[in-house]
Amino acid sequence: MHRRLCEDYQPYFDEARRIKELLAKLETVTLRMVERDVRWEPR
């Protein structure tokens, strides 16, 4: 990519990275909730 184009799109790349990090945290929290639920039966 041309330098100017990269600079223009950098905020979008940053937000995409942030969204991926938040999604990973959400997945971790969700898995912990399921593991702690007494109704959960591991297979």
User: pLDDT tens, 5-32?
Assistant: 999 999 999 999 999 999 999 999 999 9
How confident is the model at residue 40, as a pLDDT?
76
* Cα distance between residue 4 and residue 39, in whole Å: 54
* Cα distance between residue 24 and residue 8, in whole Å: 26
How confident is the model at residue 43, as a pLDDT?
67
List of residues 6+ apart from 40 with CB closer than 8 A: 34
pTM for the whole thing?
Answer: 0.71
